[in-house]
Structure 1
Amino acid sequence: MSQYARQVIQEERPIRYFAQDESRFGLKTLIGRLITACGIKPIGQWLWLFKAFWLYGAVEPATGESFFLQFSHVDTACYQAFLEEFSKAYPDSLNILQVDNGRFHSSKDLVVPENVILLFQPAYCPELNPIERLWEYLKADLKWASFKTLEQLQAKVDQLLAQLTPEVIASITGYSFILNALSALNPI
């Protein structure tokens, strides 16, 4: 980390922290709680299709800025494409990406762009990654919804992403301990 600190001091690039993860969105109906009369089970249309796509996302809890890309699956090649596009979207800063311990995050074939640092969270601790709460927020609107095609689901997810404002993202992902640490990192 010290080599990166020296690089930042020499170049005077701002340091930005993003939480990054991938989430599966599929045609299989997500069930959830519904208000019904006592003893009555909820009734809804169910689909058991296992067609899906993956949404790769990175959010900045301090500002609510976000970056999302859709892929058909999860592997090193898709993650490499995500990192390259992310790096191009934020070229003027040193970007720290908090990631889980997925194999494709640490693959020997993965080439991390020069303005990105991968920060690995402890194993089996998804609750430490703020973007997990954003996935829950997005999927709450998809409970009991059924889509006939994957394209319809993708359109709905795109609509939900378009409705997200930086303020909403910051309120969902802005853990106080992260924001306190970030205020010390980039003093104003």
Structure 2
Amino acid sequence: METKRHERLLKNFRGLVQTAVADRSAEDQRPIVIMAADEGRFGRLGQVRRAWCAPGIRPESGQQLVREYLYGYVAVAPALGKMSALVLPFSNTQMMNLFLAQVADEFSDYFVVMQVDGASYHTGKKLVIPDNIRLIVQPPRSPQLNAVEHIWEEVKEKHFYNQVFDSLDEVSDTLCKGLKELMDLPDRLTSMTNFPHMRITI
């Protein structure tokens, strides 16, 4: 059943985009940009992974078990090689409203169709969706359909695995650094996130 839902999204994505923009004002002639958005949890609960080192040397890595977290919010536009990001203390509707407002402002020259997962704070009654944004909710249990997952993988691999952080502020600084690096590499960002079903024009 889940596989069929996944296939349905991929097959019908163009139609979902067309439906999402059908109610916009006729006077609104801004180009449509397809984005994917997601939230990732980062904290002081360390993850140890294999690491390269010189022959004959056994690598050592610290590990910590401190349950303190913050959240990265990212929306990526693969066709443009651009993304918007915030680091926020919680994952809830209030924070999502802040993030959507930022995306709407940063991409004010576009009409945004944004793919998100089915988290309650993406669909709740208190969610404030800006005038130039429409949401498409992907099927349950389908993170592989969301391009932002590749951004989380990249940031964690290069900045978080085998690391020990003295404070949550250090986690925040590291996350901001990793996201900023990708923002400055538009070609890299596009190559990581330009999923086939998002390569459409309306």
* TM-score greater than 0.5 by the shorter chain: yes
* Cα separation, 2, equivalents of 1:112 and 1:88: 12
* Aligned length in residues: 180
Q: What is the percent sequence identity of the aligned residues? A: 28
* Cα separation, 1, equivalents of 2:192 and 2:76: 10
Q: TM-score, normalised by structure 2?
A: 0.81
- In 1, are the aligned partners of 2:34 and 2:198 still within 8 Å (CA)? no
Partner of 1:162: 180
Partner of 1:148: 166
Return the letter of the residue paired with 1:146: V
Q: TM-score, normalised by structure 1?
A: 0.87
* Cα separation, 2, equivalents of 1:8 and 1:171: 33
Matched, 1:33 2:15: no
Work out which of the residue numbers 14, 35, 39 in structure 2 matches 1:18.
35
* Cα separation, 1, equivalents of 2:20 and 2:67: 45
Partner of 2:102: 85
Give the secondary-structure state (helix, strand or coil) at the position aligned to 2:152.
helix
Give the secondary-structure state (helix, strand or coil) at the position aligned to 1:137.
helix
Return the letter of the residue paired with 1:138: V
Question: Which 5+ residue runs of structure 2 have no aligned equivalent?
Answer: 1-17
Return the letter of the residue paired with 1:86: V
Alignment RMSD, CA only?
A: 2.1
Question: Which 5+ residue runs of structure 1 have no aligned equivalent?
Answer: none
Q: How do residues 90-129 of structure 1 correspond to structure 2 at under 5 angstroms?
A: 90-129=107-146
- In 1, are the aligned partners of 2:20 and 2:135 still within 8 Å (CA)? no
Residue range with higher mean Cα deviation, 115-124 or 7-16:
7-16
The alpha-carbon deviation at position 51 of structure 1 amounts to: 0.9
Cα deviation 1:7-55 (Å, max 9, x = unaligned): 365422100111100001101112212358xxxx964211100111100
Partner of 1:58: 75
Return the letter of the residue paired with 1:173: T
- In 2, are the aligned partners of 1:18 and 1:95 still within 8 Å (CA)? yes
* Cα separation, 2, equivalents of 1:23 and 1:64: 20
Return the letter of the residue paired with 1:113: P
Return the letter of the residue paired with 1:19: A
* Cα separation, 2, equivalents of 1:156 and 1:147: 9
* Cα separation, 1, equivalents of 2:20 and 2:45: 46
- In 2, are the aligned partners of 1:24 and 1:55 still within 8 Å (CA)? yes
Partner of 2:191: 171
Identify if the C-alpha distance between structure 1 residues 15 and 144 changes in structure 2 by more than 3 Å, giving closer, same or farther: same
* Cα separation, 1, equivalents of 2:61 and 2:123: 41
The alpha-carbon deviation at position 148 of structure 1 amounts to: 0.7
- In 1, are the aligned partners of 2:33 and 2:113 still within 8 Å (CA)? yes
* Cα separation, 2, equivalents of 1:83 and 1:100: 14
